[in-house]
Amino acid sequence: MSFNNLDTLYRQVIMDHYKNPRNKGAIEDGNVTIDMNNPTCGDRIHLTLDVKDGVVQQAKFDGDGCSISMASASMMTQVVKGQNVDTALKMSAIFSDMMLGKEYDDSIDLGDIEALQGVAKFPARIKCATLAWKAMEKGIDQQ
């Protein structure tokens, strides 16, 4: 597949998650709740997780922001559900490396998140893409 076709496919995946977000809302009885924002562009997220016995049972988000931040939150909530917290945090580290253009561990399937690789070319947008992930890390650390 040519680069242009791959880039188009990635843009379609991002826009699909933005227009049809997965796991949008809040978990009524979630035991992890975190609010974060990106003051440089106005993105904000309210993330709720239900973590039991070290496993992310459920993950939901609400918020406002650009297509990259909201699509990333949608993708993140999909991929961390059912994962133990150590794996979820490792996924976050992998995603962070990907966003910074570093070599990253590709042994863990991140699902649609690969579509956000191009964000690394736009340093001002990296905080948009990582907002939900940083919220998850902070929430798990506070648990």
pLDDT tens across 44-53, in order?
Answer: 999 999 999 9
Its CATH class, for the domain covering 3-142, is: alpha beta
Counting as low any pLDDT under 70, the low residues of the chain are 1-6
Do 105 and 89 form a contact (C-beta atoms < 8 A)? no
Q: Residue 143: its pLDDT value, please?
A: 82
pLDDT tens across 85-105, in order?
Answer: 999 999 999 999 999 999 999
User: What are the strands, taking DSSP E only, across the chain?
Assistant: 32-38, 43-52, 55-64
